[in-house]
């Protein structure tokens, strides 16, 4: 189905509900702890703060109690160091009660950690920060504020959020194909021009790569970085290593050391462009140091850069499920059991679950057996789920739950 067939909303008229993130903010509201929202650019961090300020107003908080600075705005381009930031906020502190301080894309201010720490010490303040680079928390902030901040990781729209933003009677299945192709950046839910979608994704990509990778890390070899990004984007769902990547680039007349590849990959992870999943030996109960997978934060970004040529539907499903599990608060690893692989081992402090992802297992008994065999080798009895696009009357296979991907994404099961 072409995206132009979808009736979409005007971006200015509607705030897409982000209940998961709003709930986290309200849970920590007025507590003596800094709220740090991280995520790739244009994932909705600024809009989330805007909606949270409206929530505060509904609770009776006055406008003069809120200080909001978006460091991407020309209005605040003169606030470039810690002294200017401290002076600006100090001059606007509310004298009759708590002040709510919102600092959007704070990483642009040099040594921002020190004034933020001072705000906690000097004023009756509730502080909210956003940043597009994980460097935000690997900096002095984590040292100065040890135990005094909480990170809220924000991603582009989940499929459930994507569907909730629609004003259309198109089926969830058809919407899913749009989501898998164009991704979940909030602005694009409200856009039906493929040309504009491409222009928007191109702008995000260039901004993130230039500002959050090249500029921040003073990268000189941008051609190597571009080739590496394309390689990683085309390899989602495939096991790789820095050595294998280096060999591939060398075969394409673009050599690089393993150390350089590792450094560049870490930069891409910190810029929230991709996420690294490591392997876990289920029987040996230990993490493995060789081979890992990368998943791209938004499939639309990946598809745009690769020219929509490499669809690889099963790997695309893997990518979507990986980030869905992260959204649900799990730590997500790749499972290894004997000589077999389990797509995902999802765990938190309360539970552990195993997932296999396949486009279909109804094409042959051999496919079904291949997907279920790793489950049979797992020595424990934690929940095991097979996720596919199949629609059939069977909700289990040999004791393994079988769930439709779309139902899983919409149902939160």
pLDDT > 70 fraction of the chain, expressed in percent and rounded: 93
**What's residue 210's pLDDT?**
93
**What's residue 128's pLDDT?**
97
**What's residue 184's pLDDT?**
96
Output the six-digit token pair for 117: 């720490």
> In which residue are the tokens 């077999």 written?
340
139-191 pLDDT tens trace: 556 677 767 889 999 999 999 999 999 877 789 999 999 999 999 999 999 78
The pLDDT confidence band at residue 309, using thresholds 50, 70 and 90, is confident
Integer Cα distance of 264 and 238 in angstroms: 18
**Between these two residues, 141 and 79, which has the higher pLDDT value?**
79
What is the crossing angle of helices 258-270 and 222-234, to 10°? 70
Helix/strand/coil (H/E/C) assignment for every residue in 361-381: CCCCHHHHHHHHHHHHHCCCC
Output the six-digit token pair for 295: 């998943």
Output the six-digit token pair for 374: 């790793």
The pLDDT confidence band at residue 250, using thresholds 50, 70 and 90, is confident
The pLDDT confidence band at residue 6, using thresholds 50, 70 and 90, is very low
Residue 5, pLDDT above cutoff 70: no
Flag the least confident range among 95-104, 106-115, 279-288, 322-331. Answer: 106-115
Output the six-digit token pair for 192: 């039906």
Residue 243, pLDDT above cutoff 70: yes
Return mean pLDDT, the chain.
90
322-348 pLDDT tens trace: 999 999 999 999 999 999 999 999 999
Domain boundaries, the chain: 19-153, 159-411
pLDDT > 90 fraction of the chain, expressed in percent and rounded: 77
- Indicate the helix (H) or strand (E) that contains 329: none
Output the six-digit token pair for 316: 């695309």
Would you state the CATH architecture of domain 159-411? Answer: Orthogonal Bundle (1.10)
**What's residue 66's pLDDT?**
98
Output the six-digit token pair for 130: 């956003």
Domain boundaries 19-153, CATH class: alpha beta
**What's residue 3's pLDDT?**
41
Output the six-digit token pair for 382: 């934690």
38-77 pLDDT tens trace: 999 999 999 999 999 999 999 999 999 999 999 999 999 9
**What's residue 132's pLDDT?**
86
β-strand pairing of 66-70 with 149-153:
unpaired
**Between these two residues, 157 and 290, which has the higher pLDDT value?**
157
Strands, E, within 111-188: which ranges?
125-131, 149-153
Name which of 205, 200, 176 is nearest 324 in CA terms: 176
Q: Model's pTM, two decimal places?
A: 0.92
**What's residue 142's pLDDT?**
67
Q: Are 33 and 150 in contact (CB under 8 A)?
A: yes
**What's residue 192's pLDDT?**
83
Q: What is the mean predicted confidence (pLDDT) over 90-105?
A: 96
């Amino acid at each position: 189905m072409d995206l132009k067939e979808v009736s979409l909303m005007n971006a200015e008229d509607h705030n897409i509900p982000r209940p998961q993130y709003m709930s986290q903010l309200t849970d920590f509201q007025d507590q003596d702890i800094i709220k740090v929202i991280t995520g790739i650019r244009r994932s909705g961090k600024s809009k989330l703060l805007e909606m949270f300020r409206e929530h505060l107003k509904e609770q009776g908080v006055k406008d003069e109690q809120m200080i909001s600075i978006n460091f991407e705005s020309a209005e605040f381009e003169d606030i470039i160091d810690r002294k200017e930031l401290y002076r600006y906020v100090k001059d606007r502190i509310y004298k009759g009660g708590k002040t709510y301080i919102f600092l959007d894309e704070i990483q642009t201010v040099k040594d921002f950690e020190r004034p933020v720490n001072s705000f906690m010490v000097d004023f009756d303040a509730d502080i909210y920060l956003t940043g597009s680079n994980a460097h935000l928390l690997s900096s002095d902030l984590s040292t100065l504020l040890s135990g005094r901040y909480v990170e809220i990781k924000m991603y582009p729209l989940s499929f459930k959020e994507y569907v909730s933003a629609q004003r259309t009677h198109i089926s969830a299945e058809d919407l899913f194909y749009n989501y898998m192709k164009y991704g979940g950046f909030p602005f694009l839910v409200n856009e039906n021009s493929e040309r504009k979608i491409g222009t928007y994704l191109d702008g995000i990509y260039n901004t993130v790569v230039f500002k959050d990778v090249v500029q921040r890390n003073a990268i000189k070899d941008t051609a190597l970085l571009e080739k590496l990004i394309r390689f990683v984007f085309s390899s989602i769902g495939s096991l790789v290593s820095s050595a294998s990547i280096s060999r591939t680039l060398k075969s394409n007349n673009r050599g690089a050391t393993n150390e350089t590849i590792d450094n560049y990959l870490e930069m891409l992870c910190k810029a929230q462009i991709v996420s690294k999943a490591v392997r876990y030996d289920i029987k040996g109960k230990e993490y493995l140091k060789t081979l890992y997978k990368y998943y791209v934060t938004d499939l639309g970004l990946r598809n745009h850069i690769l020219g929509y040529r490499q669809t690889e539907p099963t790997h695309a499903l893997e990518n979507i499920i990986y980030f869905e599990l992260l959204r649900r608060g799990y730590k997500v690893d790749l499972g290894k059991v004997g000589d077999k692989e389990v797509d995902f081992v999802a765990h938190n402090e309360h539970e552990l679950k195993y997932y296999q992802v396949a486009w279909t297992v109804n094409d042959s008994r051999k496919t079904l057996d291949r997907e279920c065999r790793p489950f049979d080798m797992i020595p424990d009895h934690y929940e095991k789920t097979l996720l596919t696009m199949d629609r059939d009357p069977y909700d289990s296979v040999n004791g393994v739950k079988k769930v439709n991907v779309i139902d899983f994404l919409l149902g939160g099961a």
